[in-house]
Structure 1
Amino acid sequence: MEQTWKKFEEWLAQHWPEGLSRLNPPATDEQISELERQLEIKLPLDFVACLKVHNGQDGFLSFFDGMEFLSCEEIYSQWAVWKELLDAGEFKDTFSEPDKGIKNHWWSSKWIPFTHNGGGDHLCLDLDPSESGSIGQVITMWHDMEARELQAKTFGDYFQGYVAGVLSGQYVYAEEYGGLINADDV
């Protein structure tokens, strides 16, 4: 994880120094433990390793293809919004169209958002996949669309693939979008 971050930070230093300067310092063991206590889960080790490099970012900038990289505090804040809706029965008769390996929920309290686009959409760690899925897989969660898409089998796979995409030019810095986006969208 540290090597992947190092490559990403080197790219940021050259192509988007402001973005690099907005990454938070590492999460402390106490911050991670508190998040796990609040969520009543254990986070995947690869994601914990990521948080121990950078605890999200400061302010809204798009680090992950138009999405903010959430800190421990913001992960809980975003999760709590969805949990309140779930507990109020908002999703009782609402289902998604999931890829293989993802349960057919609109939202699950075992889906842990680590990004946010400012409009209710997230990338989530899925800690309760279907039988053919993998614990800790990365999935999409759209607030107004049924699709629940599998992005990667693990956070580590997702992050390595994303950084490789940045380094190869698949994702670029676009000032008008406030961060990194898919080059096809520029």
Structure 2
Amino acid sequence: MDKLWKRLEDYLEVNAPVMRECLANGATEAELTELEAAVGHTLPSDVRLSLLRHNGQNLVNGDPGGGTLIPCGFRLLTLSDMLVEWTEHRNVAEYLKGERDPEIANPGVKPFFHHPAWIPIAADIGGNSICVDLDPGEGGSVGQIIEFNHDLDTPTRIAADYKSWLMEITDGLEAGQYIYENNSYYPGFFLPEDLSSFGVAYSPTNP
């Protein structure tokens, strides 16, 4: 994880230094243990190693200082924010008291509205989140990464594990798949075609 994070840090230093500066210092083992006790689950080793290097993104006046690191529009959560998001998810699950129709579940993910074994690691301003799934459905794997979106029936599996997820993002950034836009209402990395929603013109020959 350290080598992968070094690649990502080096990329940010050159292409989005303000975002590099907003990455928080690492959490402590004691802080990780406290979170795990609160949610009742042990985090996978790649998630723990990542949080030991960077405990999410610092906020400036309540907002991500350099924007959202995770395309498109998600910020990495600190341990304290992870617990807040998890608690909100748990409360929703308890309120709804039930499963969704298994026939509309996405592959590898259990058909719940929310699940206490989905631990949020990133979130956007619309209440959507990216979670590490510690209780997967049939065909899934413990530690897989899922995206919860209000427009979908159940979360979608987007990566086999945290390291694969972060590597895919890093590979995409280095390959120019995403563009850093710092002039929008909510700065961060976006697909070029998505920038039009902010009134930003983009051409591959004139970024």
Q: TM-score per shorter chain, which class?
A: over 0.9
Matched with 1:47 is 47
Alignment of structure 1 residues 83-122 onto 2, 5 Å: 83-88=90-95, 90-92=96-98, 94-95=100-101, 97-122=104-129
CA distance in 1, matches of 2:173, 2:45: 23
- 2:92–2:114 contact (8 Å) kept in structure 1: no
Matched with 1:7 is 7
Over the matched positions of the two proteins, sequence identity in percent amounts to 28
Alignment of structure 1 residues 18-167 onto 2, 5 Å: 18-59=18-59, 60=64, 61-65=67-71, 66-88=73-95, 90-92=96-98, 94-95=100-101, 97-167=104-174
Q: Which runs of 5+ in 1 are unaligned?
A: none
- 1:62–1:181 contact (8 Å) kept in structure 2: no
Deviations 1:12-45 (A, max 9, x none): 1111111011110011001100110010000000
- 2:106–2:155 contact (8 Å) kept in structure 1: yes
Rg larger in structure: 2
Matched with 1:180 is 189
RMSD of the alignment, in Å?
1.5
The amino acid of 1:99's aligned partner reads N
Residue 182 of structure 1 deviates from its aligned partner by 2.3
CA distance in 1, matches of 2:83, 2:24: 16
TM-score by length of 2: 0.84
Q: Which runs of 5+ in 2 are unaligned?
A: 196-207
The amino acid of 1:64's aligned partner reads I
CA distance in 2, matches of 1:114, 1:16: 21
Aligned residues: 185
TM-score by length of 1: 0.94
